[in-house]
Structure 1
Amino acid sequence: MTGEAPLWQWSAAEIAAATHDGSLTALEVTEAAIARMEAANPALNAVVESLADEARAEAAALDASDAPKGPLHGVPVSIKINVDQQGHATSNGVAAFKDMIAPADAPVVCNLKAAGAIVIGRTNTPEFSFRADTDNPLFGRTHNPWGRHVSAGGSSGGAGSAVMAGIGALAHGNDIGGSLRFPAAANGAVTVKPGLGRVPAFNPSQKVERGLLAQSMSVQGLLARNAADLHLSMPAMIAPDARDPFHAPLPWRGEPLAGPIHVAVARDDFGFGLHPEVATALDKAASALSDAGYAVEMVEPPLAQETGEIGYRTLLGEVKALLGPDIQRYGSAELNTIFDEYFRQFPPYEGTELLTMLAQRSHYARAWSLFLEDYPLVLTPFMLKPFFAPGRDAEGAEGVRDALGTSHWSFIMNFTGLPAGNLPTHIADLPQGPQPIGVQIAGRRWREDLIVDAMQAIEVRIPSACGTLWSKLP
């Protein structure tokens, strides 16, 4: 990508290589990233707080330092507004929280900065970070760089839109039911949702501890434009932080597996139907993995529909009990209407039944772990249809079904705590306009590296979505 390409199109790996060998300074990279942000963001509203001045100062300090250069030296990144960054509001897209200033950096911010990354801005999220679409009364809607015919996804929609528009080489996001993978699918980005305990998490601004299921299902991660950048950046993200007592301090790379690695391809549509464009994306991914030497086989994992449905109903049970009053009090009328529909379609467990289903989580995780002994990777659709239009989840029962029902494969991985990646393998030429179609690759616990390896193997054979997108951008 280097050579004649503008700096904003360079990958994180290319930038880091140039800052390490001295052919670029951190400040030069930062100025290019800020210029791109100022040019592209007004049409997208992906970054809702520019940190241009702070970024320049941090880059200049890096250039003046004699300390060893970190793996992400000078790489521009963005941080989602639901994570603490000292001196900035952790608004979570809620107007009532616009002045909730963080007293210190969250672990992911500390880890990225320690690796040499430069934070250039903070990205948008829906209210309470609990929609697959990014819009809120505080900052408004984030748009998809592919066009306004398709949502930017959520809840890390600002991050997905920003990274694919070239506003930073990496974008922080998080995922409790698909909030890294929805924006990856919508915008054509590449991500891996880490497994439970992989990346330390804590917001110093929080007043109470999160629910047990939120702690078990929510994870921190990154959106990138290629899988190689995840191999570069995720080892920094998983650095230990004592503020997360349940973080598992394991290396990024696990032991090599004897080949060929078996990949189960799942096509269950859960009664929604598998859209032809999604089937094409899945077939392309399977073919690419087979060509790369993986042993690809059509096999359905155990208890898939049950795991996803019970997982989401259990999560909503905890949300209704612990977060429900705040959503009713501080959320917009639109958000409350959406939650009413969530609760109708996925009736929350309550009382003793909620405790029983929390316990059952081990049953489903065990079944999947046993399956992954034979098939270390599982290739699935992410959404069963092409990504929906902006605001679709606010259009009653059908809208929520399109936004959440067709993304059933997403919930499974959060409930079981398994890692899962997402990457685009097909560009659909739909009547409303072109858009990327992503697939999901799930894997064994603690083996995000296997997932990213598989995504790299696919990328060798299927061009990245950013080339197609950038040919259409101004």
Structure 2
Amino acid sequence: MTHKDIWRLSATETVAHTHAGDLSAEASIAASISRMDAANPALNAVVVDLRTEALERARDLDKARTAGATPGPLHGVPVTIKINVDQAGQASSNGVLALKDLIAPADAPIVENLQKAGAVVIGRTNTPEFSFRADTDNPLFGRTYNPWSKHISPGGSSGGAGAAVMAGIGGLAHGNDIGGSLRFPAAANGAVTVKPGLGRVPAYNPSQTAERGMLAQSMSVQGLLTRSAADLHLSMPTMIAPDPRDPFHVPLPWRGAPLEGPLKVAFTKNTFGYDLHPEVEAALDDARYALVDAGYIVEEVEPPNVFDAGRTGYRALMGEVYTLMKKDIDAAGSQTVRDIFSVYFQEFPPFQDTELLQMMAKRTYYARQWSLFLEQYPLVLTPFLPQPFFKPDRDTEGAEGVHEVLGCAVYSYAINYMGLPAGCVPARLADLPHGPQPINVQIVARRWREDLAVDACAAIEARAGRMCDLLWDRMTQ
């Protein structure tokens, strides 16, 4: 195989070749670096280039393999890490100028688990300041662009990860999600992801000097952006390996027990008064047909309390942010991000004092209602956003912009608030005035059953096709 062929391999295909012995780790990583050289200058997705370390590590993997070592489950797979997670010797800048020299003393669990499995980190990907926008730009590294079009935001906060993996820079891209930061870039770039449920993937940054707020701890999760659902099934068992630094991690296997009979899927198009774009509606219909064709029973039924749970959850999170983070944002953030947060506090009036504690407690009420509903319907097919993905810097355009970007995304942050898993997968390529654009849908699953969400994503992907194949044809035109 040539470099031109190798970088196109999925993570699953890469592992098949490295395990068979017809592709070395070094060749895999060298091909990905060549692709990074070709694609990244136009995207600014990878902002810290780690090629020297990556090639050295790949050679070490090959030497160990030659000496008789058993290759790991991700042997030779090139990966990227988001710049808000600790990687030993690298800055966890979080897109903030004041943190550009915050050097991590050790690897976070996610980095350690990936490398133990044989993956090789080729670079670190961009995020907005404080990783708190659904778009990706910051004063430290600048703007990241969407490989489909500069007229479409790459999403955020894992925007660099989404743009990189879909452009073919690495087979897997690490990201994280407190209100949608895996699913926004998946939807923007046409990637596939699963937002793990609370406690599923161990998390900790050795560079931190204080513990995060309780809602940040209970809503934020670590995950991956991929080009196919199969790559999630390949890689997530590695991601969920336990780490004692996360005392609340739950050590369950990736695959849960099989459920009897055809799985029932609740299906809704309700967008709570926000306009549902015809292409989003068509994507939902395409996803429903795909699931029915795959043997699922899909019933149009309304799940409980989505709007209330979402708005309550994000207003509570804003209350915690206002109390614990506002001073840091005001001191170290750019004027742009300070202005955005001012509008966030208008869009989501922060709960404070006694009311904040009451709304944090109410999280259990919403989670219980969904838990009971998911006993009858183990999966729920929902919109992710009611409209096709927005343009860059839309959230800098005052109340209207923030409302379009985040205000309408209740299906996103409601799921974080309740700690449930949710897949996000492209179901359709829309033909819009600025050009083709992927449209993703969301699949919510029972607690601890990320595997069911990924199975459903695979069924939808089988009908829609892999968006990366369509994108790469477009990028070479």
TM-score range, shorter chain: over 0.9
Match of residue 334 from structure 2: 332
Q: Is the 8 A contact 2:47 2:123 kept in 1?
A: yes
Match of residue 42 from structure 2: 43
Can you give the 5+ residue segments of structure 2 that lack an aligned partner in the other structure? none
The secondary structure found in structure 2 opposite 1:471 is helix
Name the CA distance, whole Å, in 2 between partners of 1:260 and 1:319: 43
Alignment of 1:253-402 (within 5 A): 253-402=255-404
1:172 to 171, 174, 185: 174
Does the alignment pair 1:15 with 2:5?
no
Name the CA distance, whole Å, in 2 between partners of 1:250 and 1:67: 27
Name the CA distance, whole Å, in 2 between partners of 1:188 and 1:202: 28
Does the alignment pair 1:424 with 2:426?
yes
Identical aligned residues as a percent? 66
Name the CA distance, whole Å, in 1 between partners of 2:310 and 2:433: 31
Name the CA distance, whole Å, in 1 between partners of 2:156 and 2:149: 16
Match of residue 203 from structure 1: 205
The secondary structure found in structure 1 opposite 2:286 is helix
Does the alignment pair 1:87 with 2:86?
no
Match of residue 97 from structure 1: 99
Q: Deviations over 1:315-341 (max 9, x none)?
A: 111111111110111001010110000
Shifted more, 263-272 versus 458-467: the winner is 458-467
Aligned partner letter, 1:154: G
Q: Deviations over 1:294-335 (max 9, x none)?
A: 000001101111000001000111111111110111001010
Shifted more, 216-225 versus 405-414: the winner is 405-414
Name the CA distance, whole Å, in 2 between partners of 1:320 and 1:55: 40
With structure 2 as the length reference, what TM-score do the two structures score? 0.98
Match of residue 34 from structure 1: 33
Name the CA distance, whole Å, in 2 between partners of 1:229 and 1:344: 39
Aligned partner letter, 1:54: E
Does the alignment pair 1:186 with 2:193?
no
Does the alignment pair 1:72 with 2:74?
yes
Name the CA distance, whole Å, in 1 between partners of 2:32 and 2:192: 20
1:111 to 98, 101, 113: 113
Question: What's the CA shift for 1:6?
Answer: 1.6
Match of residue 121 from structure 1: 123
Name the CA distance, whole Å, in 1 between partners of 2:48 and 2:437: 27
Name the CA distance, whole Å, in 1 between partners of 2:197 and 2:241: 14
Question: What's the CA shift for 1:406?
Answer: 2.2
Name the CA distance, whole Å, in 2 between partners of 1:404 and 1:421: 18
Q: Is the 8 A contact 1:106 1:201 kept in 2?
A: yes
Q: Is the 8 A contact 2:4 2:31 kept in 1?
A: no
Match of residue 412 from structure 1: 414
Q: Deviations over 1:219-247 (max 9, x none)?
A: 00000000000000000000000000000
CA-based RMSD: 1.0
Change (3 A) 1:281 1:312: same
Match of residue 53 from structure 1: 52
Question: What's the CA shift for 1:377?
Answer: 0.2
Name the CA distance, whole Å, in 1 between partners of 2:311 and 2:15: 42
The secondary structure found in structure 2 opposite 1:404 is helix
Name the CA distance, whole Å, in 1 between partners of 2:131 and 2:220: 11
Name the CA distance, whole Å, in 2 between partners of 1:83 and 1:69: 26
Question: What's the CA shift for 1:67?
Answer: 2.1
Q: Deviations over 1:93-138 (max 9, x none)?
A: 0000000000000000000000000000000000000000000000
Name the CA distance, whole Å, in 2 between partners of 1:315 and 1:266: 26
Q: Deviations over 1:317-371 (max 9, x none)?
A: 1111111110111001010110000100110000010001010000000000000
The secondary structure found in structure 2 opposite 1:9 is coil
Name the CA distance, whole Å, in 2 between partners of 1:103 and 1:82: 14
Name the CA distance, whole Å, in 2 between partners of 1:118 and 1:34: 11
Name the CA distance, whole Å, in 1 between partners of 2:291 and 2:45: 33
Question: What's the CA shift for 1:272?
Answer: 0.8
Q: Is the 8 A contact 2:3 2:30 kept in 1?
A: no
Match of residue 155 from structure 2: 153
Q: Is the 8 A contact 1:385 1:406 kept in 2?
A: no
**Off by >6 Å, runs of 4+ in structure 1:** 2-5
2:132 to 112, 130, 133: 130
Question: What's the CA shift for 1:268?
Answer: 1.1
Aligned partner letter, 1:83: V
Question: What's the CA shift for 1:139?
Answer: 0.3
Aligned partner letter, 1:87: G
With structure 1 as the length reference, what TM-score do the two structures score? 0.99
Name the CA distance, whole Å, in 1 between partners of 2:181 and 2:3: 34
Q: Deviations over 1:430-460 (max 9, x none)?
A: 1122111000000000000001111111222
Q: Is the 8 A contact 2:426 2:461 kept in 1?
A: no
Match of residue 454 from structure 2: 452
Q: Deviations over 1:362-400 (max 9, x none)?
A: 000000000000000000000000000000011011100
Aligned partner letter, 2:291: L
Question: What's the CA shift for 1:5?
Answer: 6.5
Name the CA distance, whole Å, in 2 between partners of 1:20 and 1:231: 17
Aligned partner letter, 1:173: G
Question: What's the CA shift for 1:467?
Answer: 1.4
Match of residue 223 from structure 2: 221
Q: Is the 8 A contact 1:149 1:433 kept in 2?
A: no
Aligned partner letter, 2:423: G
Q: Is the 8 A contact 2:87 2:106 kept in 1?
A: yes
Q: Is the 8 A contact 2:428 2:440 kept in 1?
A: yes
Q: Is the 8 A contact 1:76 1:119 kept in 2?
A: yes
Aligned partner letter, 2:327: P
Q: Is the 8 A contact 1:89 1:98 kept in 2?
A: yes
Name the CA distance, whole Å, in 2 between partners of 1:268 and 1:460: 25
Name the CA distance, whole Å, in 1 between partners of 2:241 and 2:320: 29
Name the CA distance, whole Å, in 2 between partners of 1:81 and 1:157: 11
Name the CA distance, whole Å, in 2 between partners of 1:249 and 1:149: 42
Name the CA distance, whole Å, in 2 between partners of 1:181 and 1:458: 16
The secondary structure found in structure 2 opposite 1:167 is coil
